[in-house]
Amino acid sequence: MWHEALEKESLPKEAVSLVEETSHETVVSFMQLTDVLDCLIPRGGPSLIRAMREHARVPYVLDGDGNCHVYVDDEADVAMAVAIVKNAKTSRPGVCNAAETLLVHANIAPALLGELDGELSEVELRGDERTRALVPRAREASEEDYEREFLDLVLAVRVVDSLDDAIAHVARYGTGHSEAIVTENFEHAETWVRRVDAAAVLVNASTRFIDGGELGLGGEVGISTQKLHARGPMGLKELTCLKWVVRGEGQIR
């Protein structure tokens, strides 16, 4: 398919090659081909990422884990928040831009969690003590639950006392992928945008929008949580580099 597409556009089909040998030894050898490869983008589980960090000599960009958060502020529209949380968790729970943890301001928690309990009836909720007091069916959340990328219909929930507490939680447990706030307070939204360290931050929108196609980048090879050289969805532009050409008429410096 790749070769047909390249030939259709009058490009050399050899520009794309499929490596069918996928043994651990072959993968490790690829990581060390500095005279052939400029960059590696690993797509796989934790064992592959560990191997990259231990063995790679070729520069690489990690397609990061997506422990994404939605924080519902005390000045949020409850109906909007319910719609955003439901979409972020349930539309495609097995992808990296799905929400994995819900943070709720204590002042809005009774109204919000009461609505969400019914809307997320198919989702297993794991919460702290205050969450479980409002949603009796929720299981007790462990420390590991707030660190996990579930990739399933499971959602960790925590009730927080302030915007600062929500930001601190994201800083501790987040993976730098996509972090959303739901609020009608402009200053709270701007504080979130400035202080949350992630490839993407969202205001009043689902984390599911962090996707190459949705952001106008076309197809993507992954979403980088690194800061060099690419961050966020990696489309064709992010896979290229610059070559500077200087044309002169004898100028010297």
Q: What is the pLDDT of residue 217?
A: 82
Q: Quote the pTM value.
A: 0.86
Q: What is the pLDDT of residue 22?
A: 84
**DSSP assignment of 70-96:** EEE-TTS-HHHHHHHHHHHHHSSTTST
How close are the terminal C-alpha atoms of the chain, in Å?
50
**What are the tens digits of pLDDT across the range 163-209?**
999 999 999 999 999 999 999 999 999 999 999 999 999 999 999 99
What are the two backbone dihedrals, phi and then psi, of residue 232, each rounded to the nearest 5 degrees? Answer: 90, -160
List per-block mean pLDDT (blocks of 10 residues) for the chain, which spans 253 residues: 90 88 88 91 80 90 88 98 98 95 98 97 98 98 96 98 99 96 98 97 97 84 85 86 94 95
Q: What is the pLDDT of residue 73?
A: 99
- Domains of the chain plus CATH, in order, are 2-63+219-239 (no CATH), 68-209 (3.40.309.10)
How many C-beta atoms surround the C-beta of residue 162 within 10 A? Answer: 13
Name the token pair of 249.
Answer: 């008429």
Q: What is the pLDDT of residue 178?
A: 96
Cα Rg for the chain, rounded, in angstroms? Answer: 22
Angstrom distance (rounded) from CA 13 to CA 161? 57
Angle at 58 between CA 222 and CA 94, to 5 degrees: 20
Q: What is the pLDDT of residue 141?
A: 98
